[in-house]
Amino acid sequence: ILKLLLKQGAEVMNSDGESHTALHYAASFGHAEIAKLLLENSASTSEKSLLRTAVINGHVKMVMLLLDRGADISATTDDGQTPLHRAAVYGGDVKVAELLLDRGADIS
């Protein structure tokens, strides 16, 4: 369905009433293939909550994809938490924390 919508000119960065884009929902539910397609069609990883969302939900493939596409591994929340902090507190998969550390996440 996404390919059909993109072919018809759907805007990949449109958001819903909560300011969430299709890429945000893909990150939230771990749909890495959909996210890849969105990123190939001008979606951006600059939305700070994308990586945190994938981390909190334990989606290793999604975290890897977002990092590969330039997501900021050091982006912080308003209270100063990084994706690694979120992995430690909320993450359900130790592989996410390992991936973040392998990619250079700051442990301080």
Per-residue pLDDT of the chain (108 residues; tens, 9 = 90+): 888 888 888 888 888 998 889 999 999 999 999 999 999 988 888 877 899 999 999 999 999 999 999 999 999 999 999 999 999 998 678 999 999 999 999 998
2-102 is classed CATH 3.40.50.920: no
pTM: 0.88
Q: Where are the domains of the chain?
A: 2-102
Alpha-carbon separation of residue 27 from 21, 32, 80 (angstroms): 10, 7, 21
Distance (Å, whole) CA 19 – CA 13? 10
Q: CA dihedral defined by 26, 30, 31, 35, rounded to 10 degrees?
A: 50
For tokens 């996404």, name the residue. 2
Distance (Å, whole) CA 6 – CA 108? 41
